[in-house]
Amino acid sequence: MPSARLTIDPHFSIGPIRRKLFGGFVEHLGRHVYDGIYEPGHETADAEGFRTDVIDLVRELGVDTIRYPGGNFVSGFRWEDSVGPVAQRPRRLDLAWHSTETNEVGLHEFASWLDKVGSDLMMAVNLGTRGTLEAIDLLEYSNIAGGTALSERRIANGRIEPFNVRMWCLGNEMDGPWQLGHRSADDYGKIASQAAKGMRQLDPDVQLVVCGSSSAHMPTFGEWERVVLTHTYDDVDLISCHAYYEERGGDIGSFLASAVDMDGFIESVVATADHVKAVRGSSKQIDISFDEWNVWYLERYHGVDKIEGIDNWPIAPRLLEDVYSVVDAVVFGNLMISLLKHADRVASASLAQLVNVIAPIMTEPGGPAWRQTTFFPFSITSRLARGEALRVKLDAPTYETEAYGEVSLVDAVATHDAEAGRSAVFLVNRSTTEPVTLTIDVAALGEVAVVESHTISDDDVYAKNTLDDRERVSPKPNDTARIAGGELTITLPPVSWTAIALA
């Protein structure tokens, strides 16, 4: 059995863990909003038509700030359609997802849902087919107390207090040829700078996120960040990263190492942002908003799901409804480890998405809501990762992957909350065949005991939770964990994700 060794010391802090690292993303896409969070006829629906079984699961998931309303959707979105009396709201074609948007749920309704789930709003403006004026109009509508045309319109629409939205995305994936209004880095950088300046003239305290690359594998990656930040460095606070991973061609070894790619992506964007900082002689630091990340079987979307036809614009079609397996959950948990390992520069992150659409929560119209396998690493990490993220010393065997060369069999990060006297360790074993015996040197933490241990693994790594078998996969206590003489030993099964809480 391979063995590995890990040392944890609370002196080696990466940085404080900002709660925004555990953010989510709700896009008007498929059955996310309609027949997902909103289903007025459902037996659990509240007076506003929101499913309370879904609200309970979102609360259990532990999601902080939620990005809205897209995604690709936002690049064709007229925000004015989504406010005012519902009966008068127009139906629109959503070109991004080839669907019909009814606008039954808009800004006011979504803000009310956010209050119910206990999360903050992070809003994206349309810089694909619209510009600075529409962005500042939406900001005025959202954040000005009253006495102007748009703030009074909000009040007339039933919301007296401003929405007071703090985080704003300046468009979505503007580097992607699929994006409505896709632009060159130079063109987008100029527009983003103008929109940001205008928005700050109105509300100087908003946090602004400029679009980085849609993935580290875009042909413009790196140069896009350099050019866009050269235009916007003084105007924005954060640059976005987006990344989705999937198992391709049966190459499970590379898939299990997806976090290696995420680590490299983050480090390259940090290097590029710091390069622009150096060239400008600036003292300001630009951090990352990793505002779309997940496992997504994109090949399946292009092959099976995609909707076409001039007469075919369905409402809330079943789109991007990936059903996640144990191996997907292990990769997903490892992506969260990567985010925590970069907590000094990743200020905010949004799991894409939340309900039905590449989501940890699934629903059936008129039926139940349930947890996908990926629900568990998110809810457990969000609950246990508190205080500071810690740099760990890891000695582990390696294996060879087609996509990333030689990679570690084990990945790990630790967290430490000095005030609460609690620590946590998050681990993956990427071996498809062998359990790993891990020895963790915890002496620097003082006298500690294991208070929780959870492992996700299964003899069938492709086991899933489905409508017919909703609890097939769940985390189990890992009772191999033992502490003696300042050392914790634990066995990590093949293809597994583990969290240990110490107090």
Closest CB to ligand AHR: residue number: 71
Buried b (16+ CB within 10 A) or exposed e, 408-445: bbbbbbbbbbeeeebbbbbbbbbbeeebbebebbbeeb
Q: Please name the amino acid found at residue 301.
A: Y
| Closest to 381 measured CA to CA, from 346, 419, 413 | 413
Minimum CB distance to ligand AHR smaller for 218 or for 503: 218
Give the start-end residues of each E strand in 75-146.
92-94, 99-101, 121-125
Selected range binding ligand AHR among 65-73, 367-375, 383-391, 492-500, rule: CB under 6 A: 65-73
Residue 230: both structure tokens together: 């050269």
Task: Please state the closest distance from residue 210 (CB atom) to ligand AHR, in A.
Answer: 15
Q: Of 5-13, 66-74, 113-121, 122-130, which part binds ligand AHR (CB under 6 A)?
A: 66-74
Residue 100 or 439: the one with the smaller Cβ distance to ligand AHR is: 100
From the CB of 353, what's the least distance to ligand AHR, in Å? 6
DSSP string covering 296-311, please?
--HHHIIIII----TT
Enumerate residues 156-215 that contact ligand AHR by CB under 6 A.
172-173, 214
Closest separation in Å from C-beta 342 to ligand AHR? 21
Q: What span, in angstroms and rounded, lies between the C-alpha atoms of 225 and 346?
A: 15
User: How far is residue 214's CA from residue 53's CA, in Å, rounded to a whole number?
Assistant: 33
| Shortest distance, position 215 Cβ to ligand AHR, whole Å | 9
Three-class DSSP category at 265: helix
Structure tokens at 120: 């903050």
Single out the residue of 326, 309, 321 nearest to residue 363, CA to CA. Answer: 321
Site for ligand AHR in 402-431 (CB under 6 A): none
Helix (H) / strand (E) containing 208: strand 207-210
Q: Token pair 């309970």 is at which residue?
A: 56
Contacts of 320 (CB under 8 A, 6+ apart): 29, 30, 296, 301, 305, 357, 358
If the CB atoms of residues 70 and 387 are measured against ligand AHR, the closer one turns out to be 70
Binding residue for ligand AHR, selected from 142, 193, 348, 353, defined by CB under 6 A: 353
- Beta carbon nearer to ligand AHR, 27 or 120: 27
Helix (H, G, I), strand (E, B) or coil at 408: strand
Among 80, 140, 292, 388, which one carries the catalytic annotation? Answer: 292
Query: Among residues 80, 173, 247, 388, which one is catalytic?
Result: 173
Closer Cβ to ligand AHR, 172 or 338, answer by number: 172
For 405, half-sphere exposure in the C-beta direction (CA atoms, 13 angstrom radius) is 1
Q: Rounded to 10 degrees, what is the CA torsion of 440, 444, 448, 452?
A: -50
292 binds ligand AHR (CB under 6 A): yes
Q: How many residues bind ligand AHR (CB under 6 A)?
A: 10
CA distance 429 to 427: 7
Bridging pattern class, strands 207-210 and 167-170: parallel
Kindly tell me which of 24 and 70 has the beta carbon lying closer to ligand AHR: 70
Work out how close the CB of 27 gets to ligand AHR at its nearest, in angstroms, rounded to a whole number.
5
Q: In the bound complex, what is the minimum distance in angstroms from residue 179's beta carbon to ligand AHR?
A: 8
374 vs 491, beta carbon nearer ligand AHR: 374
Angular region, 455: left φ>0, alpha ψ -120 to 50, beta rest: beta
Using the rule CB under 6 A, is 143 a contact of ligand AHR? no
Is residue 326 within 8 A of residue 460, CB to CB? The reply is: yes
Helix (H, G, I), strand (E, B) or coil at 105: coil
Q: Which of 27, 64, 80, 225 binds ligand AHR (CB under 6 A)?
A: 27
Closer to ligand AHR by Cβ: residue 27 or 458? 27
- Note if 292 is an active site residue: yes
| Shortest distance (Å) from residue 56 CB to ligand AHR | 24
The verdict on 71 binding ligand AHR (CB under 6 A) reads yes
- What is the C-alpha separation between 47 and 63, in angstroms, rounded? 23
Let me know if 471 is a catalytic residue.
Answer: no
Site map (CB under 6 A) of ligand AHR, residues 428-457, x = contact: ------------------------------
| Residues near ligand AHR, by CB under 6 A | 27, 70-72, 172-173, 214, 292, 352-353
Task: Write out the catalytic residue numbers.
Answer: 173, 292
